[in-house]
Every structure is written in C-alpha cells, then in structure tokens.
Amino acid sequence: MKLKQLILLPALLALVSCDGLFGGLYDEPAENPFGFVQRDDDGRGGTLRIDATSYTRWTYIDLQHRHIDTANITLGQEAPPEWDFAIHHYDVKTHDGTAAESPFDNVDMAMELEGLVFVADADSQVVIDMSTMMEGYLGYTPSPVNPVLSRWLDVDLSTMPPIYTPSNKVYLLRLSDGTLVALQFTAYMDESLLKGIVTLRYRIINDQT
Amino acid sequence: MKRTLLALLTLLSALSLPAQNTTADTLQAKSRLLNMVVVTATRTPKLIMEVPVVTRVITEQDIKAADASSVQELLQTELPGIEFSYAMNQQVSLNMQGFGGNSVLFLVDGERLAGETLDNIDYSRLSLDAVQRIEIIKGAASSLYGSNAVGGVVNIITHTPEKPWSLNLGARTSSLGEGHYNGTLGIANGRWNSLSELQLKHADAVHLADTGDLRTIFAHRSFNAKEKVRFKASDRLVFTGRAGYFFRQREKSTEASDRYRDFSAGIKGDLDLGTESDLMMSYAFDQYDKSDYATASGLDVRNYSNVQHTFRSLFNHSFLSPSDTSSTLGTLTLGGDVMRDYLMSYQFTDGSHTQYTADAFAQWDWQPTSRLNIVAALRYDYYSEASASHLSPKINLLYRCSKTNLRASYANGFRAPTLKEMYMNFDMANIFIIYGNPDLRPEVSDNFNASVEWSHSHYNLTCMAFLNHVSNRITTFWNQERNGMLYSNMRPLNITGLDLSASARWDNGLGVRLSYIFSHESLTDGGMRASSTRPHSATLHIDYARQWSWGRTTLALNGRVLSAVTCDEYTSYSNPTQTEEITYPGYTLWRLTLGHRFDGGWALTVTVDNLFDYRPDYYYNNSPATIGRTLSVGLSLDVDQCFDDGKEK
C-alpha cells in the first residue's frame, strides 16, 4: 500500500461512515396493527392487540360485534353502549360480568369449569397520573375493576425498572348474557419491547346469544 | 476479622525471610520505576520522576498482582478516592474524588471513547489483557485534553510487541459463575508488528437480597476483539492502524436484553522530522450503539448510536541548550483536533443531532536549571452546537532536590454541554419528562495542587493537597414552569482534600503501599449536602514474591476502606425544600491473591475476594454488590515461552 493510499484511507472512511456503519445489523421497530388482528377459522376466537400505553384511557372491547372504542377518563368521556370488557393500561373491568382464573394455559384446550370461582367487578381505583411517583404517591381515580382479570400481570413498582410478571393463565369471562369467553393475555409489550401494548387471545366457549 | 488479618500479616512476615533472587527482583523493580516513561501529563515522553504533575502508574505487574477482572475493580483496588457503584437501572457510575464519569476522561492509547450511559462510558470495553500500563492524573487536564478532563485523565496504554512472536492464553472462573477467556497474539517481523486480542466474558445473575435498591445483578456476557498493526515505513516514519469490535449483552429479564456494540478503527502516522522535531497525525473512528433485543420476536432494534470521527495532529520541537547540545532547554508542543460527533438517541424526540468541535493548543516545557522544570500550556476549544468556546490554561512547576520533588500546579478544566444535555426530551415511564437545555454554560474548574514527594532507598512518600473550584456543574433540577426535570448549571462548589501515599519495597521481596484520601465537598454559598463522595478512603497493598527452583510465587493482599457518608436527598422532586438526611454506611473489602508462575509459561492464580465475608445490611445503589466471600481461579499460558524453554534445553 502506498503512502498516498494510507493517507486517503481515513478520509474515505470518514466520508462513507459519517453517521455510522452496520445499520443492517439491526431490525426495524415492530409495526403495531391494533384491534382484532387475527380471527380463528370458525369465527369463535381470535387475537386482539390494544394500545394501552396511556394511563388516562379505557379501551372498550365488544367481542360480539368485533368493535373497539376508547374513552378518555380525564375528559370525562362515557363508555360506549355495547361492550364486554375494557382495558386501562394493565387493569381490566367487565360490563356487569364475572371472571375466574383457571389453571389452564391455552384458550384452545378443553376446559373443566367445575370448582372455578367467578368474581364480579369491585369498586376500586386506577392510576391516571404517574407524575407524582417520585414523591411517593400516584394520581388515582375511582373505577370498578375486576380483581381476578387484573391479576394477569403483576407489576412490582418497588424497584426501578419495575418487574413485570405475567401469570400466563387462561381467564374465563362470563358476560352479563351468560356467554362464556376464555381470555389469555399473551403480551404486555410489543415485539420491540414498547410497554403498554397488550395482546390477548380470546375464544367464545359458550355462546348464549 | 482482626485475627484473620493478624494471621495474614504473620504469614507474610514468615515468608519474608531471605529468599533466592529477591534482591535482584527488587533492584529490577526499582530500576523499572526510575526509568518508567509516562506521556499523559505533558503529551511528551518524560521519566516519571521528572514529570511535573503527580502521575500514578499502574504497571502490568500491578495488574497481574491485583488479579482484577475489570478496569473498575483494578482502579478501586489500586487507588483510594475512586468508587464505582450502580446508578438507576443498574448502570455503572464513577465517582473520583467528587467528579463523575462525565468529568474524568478515559483514553485508550490516547483516544477517547464514544458513547455513554447515565454520563459514564462503557467501562467493560476496557480490556486489561494487553495493557502495558495505566497512567492516572487527578485534577484538571483540559489544557491538553479539552472537554471532560475537568476531574482527571485515565490513559490506558497497550503493548507494542517486540518479540518475533508471543501468544498468551488465559481462562478464569469464579464461584459467582463468572468466566473470562482471553487470547493475545503478538508478532514482530522486520518493519511490521501486530497485536491481536480476543476476549470473552460471561457472568451469571447474582441475587443479592429480596429488598433494597439493588436486588439481582443481571447476568451478562461480552466479546471484545482488537487488532493493532504497526508498520515502520522508514527510519523516520511509522504508521499504526487499529480496528476493534465489542459486544455486550445484559439479560434484563426473560423477555428482553440490552445490547451494546462498538466499532472502532484508526490510523496514526508518527514522523521524525529530525532536528529534534516530530509530528503525529491521526484519524479515529468510534461508533457505540445500544439496542433492545426482544427474546420472543428476535427483534434487535437500535435506539442509540454515537459516532465520532476525530482528526488529530501533534508537533513537538526540542530546543537544545546552546552551551550543551546534549541537553534540552525546553520543548514546544503544538497540537489541534477536529471532531464530528453524531448522536441518535431514544432520549430525543427529533431523532439525532450533530456537533463539530475544534481545538488548538500550545505547551512550553522549560528546564531553566537542572533542578527546575516549568510547563505551561494554553488550549482553545470550540463547540458548534453549544456555541461554546473556552480557553484552558495550566502551569506546572517541579523542583527537584536530591531525594525530594516539590510540585505545584494550577490547571483550568472545562466540560462543554453534551448533545444529550442540550436536546434531551425523555419521558421517564410517564413519571416525569427530562428536558435538555440548549442554553447551558460549560462546566469550569480551577484546580490547585501542591505536593511533596520523598524517595530514599526502599521508601517513597507522597503528600498532595488539592483544591478544585467547580463552577456551572451541569445536572438536572426540577423546573416548575416546565413541570419536569431540566438540565441546569449548578452553583459553584469546592472540592478540597489531601492525598497521602507511602510505599516501600525491601530486598527480601516484600512490598507495601498505603494510600489515603480525604475529600470534602461544599457549595460555596452553603446549601444542602448533595454530595455522596465518601470523605475518607484508603487502600492497602502488601505483596511478597519468592523465586523457587520450580518457578516464582507471589502473594498479595489488597484492602479498601471507605468511610460512611451522610448527605441530604430530595424527598420531593417538585419541592426542593423537602429533603431528608441519608447515611450510606462505610465498608471495607479485602482480597488475597496467590499466584505461581511455573517455568515453561504456565501461571496459576487463586484469589479469595471479600476475605472477611462482608455483606451490606441493605443494598443501596452505592453498596458493594457482594454476597460475601468468593473464590476465583485463573490459569494462563505463555505459549511462546514453552518453545523458548525448548530451545534453551
């Protein structure tokens, strides 16, 4: 290698690598289609992906009409007339339904319901403001929450970063009309690790309509 | 603990009976010390005893004796006043006598490192496997090194192979589930020489406690590969090329890992211009990336990239004494650098930012008499995005008596606001937003230093007093108007202290070094005690070496003693009047290393770390992440020595 080439080499490297090299090593962030992203062939089940990143929003899911709606808590927006269950960040509530935690880990398997205890929603509160966390408290608003369905993810905020532990269990949701639906929450973040993107499998077991 | 310490000292005393070859070893060690050449203090080679700034050198022998697995461990073992602890999200954070990671400049063969996390470079990039020595300067050094050298410089200098070939293979494992495997190949052939390094490390997760700020240390693994090639084009011109790749993965949870990568390359030309002049020109590329790896999807998404291109030049000219041309009257050093600094970060809402920096500096190293040395320097730095410029002067004096060196210095330090500090807009998990501030002023320090060094026969004593007046330190404060944290300049603060060191090495192979630092931080106009710098810290090193017919045995005891520290911390981010007093407990950690180098190139090292089985009652972020006494065993082979021995036979 001649002297001139040795001197030109750094200039060439600097030109081709201004903003860095090896971008091809990395993946693009996941695209997040929201809503009913997959439907089983028999039409009785599928997969839902919900944007639950906001602490000020309830996302209402109507399984029978395959419809999703949202309501902002701080703006005082009302729930839609028809819905089956709703998600606020990692909290879950039902529309006058009850829910039970099963020992199963797959919504598609045959389930024995005997011995399961179905629990109705209870008056509780949900976090709407995290900005005071470093001062030792959070901003809450009163809201009914289903205590069983909300067990799908344990969030330990006593350490930073928080520790998230999914239960991975199948939950059985009995709607107000008696329809029985199996729910399994499969992710609390998207494929690029963005938290608050909730994915769940559902399967209608016993349709009363 | 006292009984164990007494037993160890008795063992060392018993071993220190007259032994074979130890006098020769001690003389060799002394000669090494007296002839040691350092470059960091003046950017020109000078004997350590003749350098006008106190320079602490950690030699290759010290590194082996300490059996440290990382630079953090080594610096903490060798020097008091240095504490590496964890910050939020288990990121490593440095405190060196009141200066954080962004105020202490780390260099590898004189080159900066790109990338940072919570103001600290990725220290795991710094391999110890091919290090010849580490030079440490405490106190401002911005007149030669520019921004970030407000609190000091740590310069890691790697080997240049001289033997036709050398190959070292090493493996180390510990009872904590750590593994460290390395290979270093050196080749010297006529005009060429080459140094190749490979290093693989892994560590299992360590559960400390069920409660506390620190609970489980994440498992991690890393890979580091480096190549350095030196080509002597002529008697006057030498080129050095280098390239490196680094990868680290931290297992944060079963679902996600943090990944860190670095790509580096560089070329340097050293030209001897004759007539006592030389010129160095170099180009360096360094890219540090962070990405999130999702276990389930396999997606590896980059969210941070810092890319630095740096061009440097350095010219030295020595003026010969008119009366005696074999001695120099003084040396003039001129230099300049240009850097392009690109930063893409998940902490920006607008993607990326680029900053150009340029500097020029001059230094006059004057030797008016054989006893007196005066070094003065002035540097000008310019930062495009910060629209900041700064002049950094320094003056160092050295007066040499027969056994005593007196040193005094003033140095100005500065740190320009970084792109992160200017443009951050980061939502902390819906808790608060951290805002950057483009109007930040550069941090400035005035460092005054005076020291006395006395050396005689087997003994060396150094006493240094220092004062750092730091203005405009950059940190985050709650901003009521923006309802979030905002990068802002702090009120001035003073860091004063005393640095004492005593060492001795006797002909029977026994060596002792005791170092102590007192450090005190205070805001010049009063105010809360925000500093968590421990006021007292000390290190003790005792080593003994003995040559046998079947090899050489070394025994080393290293201890660190850190005092408790009490400081005030905010209990409310939005109300700066609400604080509470917190005391972080002091602690002491001791390490015993037994090594034996067999004839034929094999070496075995056994280390008991945390000898007295210390465990914190509560794991704060600045508690030592230890679960008690641990054992590590290392095996190393100098393959070339096997063949050398064969030839001798």
- Residue range B15-44: mean pLDDT, rounded: 66
For residue B23, the model assigns a pLDDT of 55
Specify whether the CB–CB gap between B591 and B77 falls below 8 A.
yes
d(C-alpha A93, C-alpha B335), whole Å: 68
Confidence of residue B122 (pLDDT cuts 50, 70, 90): very high
**Cis before A161 (ω within 30):** yes
For residue B604, the model assigns a pLDDT of 97
* A84 belongs to a structural domain: yes
Tell me, yes or no, if A191 comes closer than 8 A to chain B by beta carbon: yes
For residue B485, the model assigns a pLDDT of 87
Closest Cα of chain B to A44: distance in Å?
26
B255 with A193: Cβ contact below 8 A: yes
A160 with B483: Cβ contact below 8 A: no
Closest Cα of chain A to B212: distance in Å?
8
Chain A's closest residue to B571, CA to CA, is A135
Specify whether the CB–CB gap between B371 and B400 falls below 8 A.
yes
Cα-based torsion angle of the residue sequence B415, B380, B49, B46 in order, rounded to the nearest 10 degrees:
120
Closest Cα of chain B to A2: distance in Å?
10
For residue A109, the model assigns a pLDDT of 80
For A10, the closest of B253, B283, B296 (CB atoms) is: B283
A21 with B571: Cβ contact below 8 A: no
Looking at residue B3, its amino acid is R
* A183 belongs to a structural domain: yes
B301 with A55: Cβ contact below 8 A: no
Residues of B in contact with A140 (CB under 8 A): none
For A20, the closest of B265, B342, B572 (CB atoms) is: B342
Estimate the share of chain B in helix, then strand, then coil, as percent rounded to the nearest 5. Answer: 10, 60, 30
The answer for residues whose C-beta is within 8 angstroms of residue B517's C-beta and 6 or more apart is B80, B81, B97, B497, B498, B499, B500, B536, B537, B538
d(C-alpha B254, C-alpha A168), whole Å: 14
**What is the tally of structural domains in chain A?**
1
Specify whether the CB–CB gap between B224 and B202 falls below 8 A.
no
Take residue A173 and report the two structure tokens written for it. Answer: 């949701």
Which of A5, A74, A131 to substitute to test the interface with B, most B CBs within 10 Å? Answer: A131
d(C-alpha B523, C-alpha B529), whole Å: 8
- DSSP 8-state class, residue B124: G
Residue carrying structure tokens 């344990």 = A154
Take residue B330 and report the two structure tokens written for it. Answer: 């003084």
Residues of A in contact with B292 (CB under 8 A): 192-193
The answer for residues whose C-beta is within 8 angstroms of residue B649's C-beta and 6 or more apart is none
Which of B431, B432, B477, B480 to substitute to test the interface with A, most A CBs within 10 Å? Answer: B431
B307 with A19: Cβ contact below 8 A: yes
Confidence of residue B19 (pLDDT cuts 50, 70, 90): very low
For residue B33, the model assigns a pLDDT of 65
d(C-alpha B377, C-alpha B44), whole Å: 13
Has residue B646 got a pLDDT over 60? no
A22 with B297: Cβ contact below 8 A: no
- Smallest CA-to-CA distance from B411 within B393, B399, B425 is with B393
Q: How far, CA to CA in Å, does B227 sit from each of B158, B263, B282?
A: 11, 12, 17
pLDDT tens string A75-102? 999 999 999 999 999 999 999 999 999 9
For residue B6, the model assigns a pLDDT of 52
Closest Cα of chain B to A209: distance in Å?
37
The answer for residues whose C-beta is within 8 angstroms of residue B379's C-beta and 6 or more apart is B142, B143, B144, B146, B359, B360, B361, B362, B391, B392, B393
Chain A's closest residue to B114, CA to CA, is A20
Residue carrying structure tokens 């074979």 = B20
For residue A13, the model assigns a pLDDT of 66
Closest Cα of chain B to A139: distance in Å?
11
Residues of A in contact with B297 (CB under 8 A): 30, 191-192
Q: What is the pTM of this model?
A: 0.87
d(C-alpha B597, C-alpha B603), whole Å: 4
Residue carrying structure tokens 């709607």 = A175
Specify whether the CB–CB gap between A61 and A141 falls below 8 A.
no
Closest Cα of chain B to A135: distance in Å?
5
A10 with B267: Cβ contact below 8 A: yes
* A9 belongs to a structural domain: no
Specify whether the CB–CB gap between B60 and B131 falls below 8 A.
yes
Specify whether the CB–CB gap between B78 and B539 falls below 8 A.
yes
Closest Cα of chain B to A171: distance in Å?
22
Q: Are strands B82-87 and B91-96 parallel, antiparallel or unpaired?
A: antiparallel
> Taking the domains of chain B in order of start, what are their residue ranges?
2-481+490-509+520-553
- Smallest CA-to-CA distance from B419 within B485, B350, B369, B503 is with B350
Take residue A76 and report the two structure tokens written for it. Answer: 């005082």
Q: For chain B, give the mean pLDDT.
A: 90
d(C-alpha B368, C-alpha B366), whole Å: 6
For A191, the closest of B294, B429, B571 (CB atoms) is: B294
For residue B15, the model assigns a pLDDT of 46
d(C-alpha B621, C-alpha B86), whole Å: 5
Residues of B in contact with A27 (CB under 8 A): 298-301
- Residue range B497-503: mean pLDDT, rounded: 96
For B256, the closest of A13, A132, A193 (CB atoms) is: A193
What are the two backbone dihedrals, phi and then psi, of residue B626, each rounded to the nearest 5 degrees?
-120, 150
- Residue range B463-477: mean pLDDT, rounded: 94
Which of A12, A16, A26 to substitute to test the interface with B, most B CBs within 10 Å? Answer: A26
Confidence of residue B577 (pLDDT cuts 50, 70, 90): low
Residues of B in contact with A6 (CB under 8 A): 239, 267, 269
Looking at residue A141, its amino acid is T
d(C-alpha A11, C-alpha B580), whole Å: 55
Residues of B in contact with A137 (CB under 8 A): none
Chain B's closest residue to A10, CA to CA, is B283
∠ CA B342-B345-B349, nearest 5°, is 110
Residues of B in contact with A18 (CB under 8 A): 307, 309, 340, 342
d(C-alpha B534, C-alpha B521), whole Å: 10
Domain B2-481+490-509+520-553, CATH class in plain words:
mainly beta
- Which is more confidently placed, A157 or B189? B189
Strand ranges in B457-492 using DSSP code E only, listed in sequence order: 459-471, 474-479, 484-489
For residue B458, the model assigns a pLDDT of 87
B263 with A55: Cβ contact below 8 A: no
A13 with B285: Cβ contact below 8 A: yes
Confidence of residue B211 (pLDDT cuts 50, 70, 90): confident
What are the two backbone dihedrals, phi and then psi, of residue B640, each rounded to the nearest 5 degrees?
-60, -30
ipTM of the complex: 0.86
Residues of A in contact with B266 (CB under 8 A): 10
Which of A8, A15, A16, A27 to substitute to test the interface with B, most B CBs within 10 Å? Answer: A27
pLDDT tens string A13-71? 666 668 998 999 999 987 879 999 999 999 899 999 999 999 999 999 999 899 999 99
* A5 belongs to a structural domain: no
For residue B17, the model assigns a pLDDT of 44
For residue B522, the model assigns a pLDDT of 86
Residue carrying structure tokens 């200098």 = B157
Residues of B in contact with A192 (CB under 8 A): 292, 294, 297, 299, 301
A26 with B309: Cβ contact below 8 A: no
Q: What percent of chain A has pLDDT above 90?
A: 56
B571 with A135: Cβ contact below 8 A: yes
Segment 14-33 of chain A within 8 Å of chain B by CB: 14, 17-23, 25-30
Domain ranges, residue A94: 26-206
Take residue B641 and report the two structure tokens written for it. Answer: 């020595």
d(C-alpha B377, C-alpha B503), whole Å: 32
Q: For chain A, give the mean pLDDT.
A: 87
- Residue range B259-277: mean pLDDT, rounded: 94
Take residue B373 and report the two structure tokens written for it. Answer: 């040395």
pLDDT tens string B393-448? 999 999 999 899 999 999 999 899 999 999 999 987 667 789 999 999 999 999 99
For residue B610, the model assigns a pLDDT of 97
**How many CB atoms are located within 10 Å of the residue A42 CB?**
8
For residue A207, the model assigns a pLDDT of 64
Closest Cα of chain B to A132: distance in Å?
7
- Residue range B480-504: mean pLDDT, rounded: 91
Strand ranges in B275-366 using DSSP code E only, listed in sequence order: 277-294, 300-320, 328-345, 352-366
Has residue B126 got a pLDDT over 60? yes
For B574, the closest of A23, A135, A158 (CB atoms) is: A135
d(C-alpha B363, C-alpha B411), whole Å: 13
